[in-house]
């Protein structure tokens, strides 16, 4: 989760796409268009590995757009395949601005 957050901060689309599970991965992300987003921090609240191939991570990411602070609170699902963890999807449990 921390590496994916860092990739969003640095706008590393190839890394994000490579760590996204093929069944849910978008064709592109267009992060270059989000130049007004300034990421401020990540808090990983909980990590739960259900078995050897399934895990969830609850996190809160803080960011600022046009001087206004926001929070993204998500519970993300990951799947392990070929020895690597892939982001599958997530449920946004709270978003504030």
| β-sheet with 37-49: strand ranges across | 37-49, 54-65, 68-81, 84-96
Q: pTM of the predicted model, to two decimals?
A: 0.89
Q: Give the domain range for residue 12.
A: 2-96
Q: Write the CA distances from 81 to 5, 25, 55, 95, 96, integer angstroms.
A: 20, 15, 12, 30, 34
Provide the domain count of the chain: 1
Residue 57 contacts residue 44 (beta carbons within 8 Å): yes
Question: The CATH number of the domain where 18 resides is what?
Answer: 3.10.450.50
Angstrom distance (rounded) from CA 43 to CA 24: 24
Q: For every one of its 97 residues, what pLDDT tens digit does the chain have, with 9 covering 90 and above?
A: 899 999 999 999 999 999 999 999 999 998 887 778 999 999 999 999 999 999 999 999 999 999 999 999 999 999 999 999 999 999 998 666 5
């Amino acid at each position: 989760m921390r590496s994916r957050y860092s990739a969003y901060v640095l706008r590393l689309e190839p890394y994000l796409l490579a760590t996204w599970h093929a069944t849910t991965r978008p064709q592109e992300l267009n992060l270059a268009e989000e130049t007004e987003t300034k990421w401020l921090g990540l808090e990983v609240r909980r990590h739960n590995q259900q078995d050897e191939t399934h895990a969830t991570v609850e996190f809160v990411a803080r960011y600022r757009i046009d001087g206004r602070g926001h929070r993204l609170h998500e519970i993300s699902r990951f799947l392990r395949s070929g020895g690597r963890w892939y982001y599958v999807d997530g449920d946004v449990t709270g978003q504030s601005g």
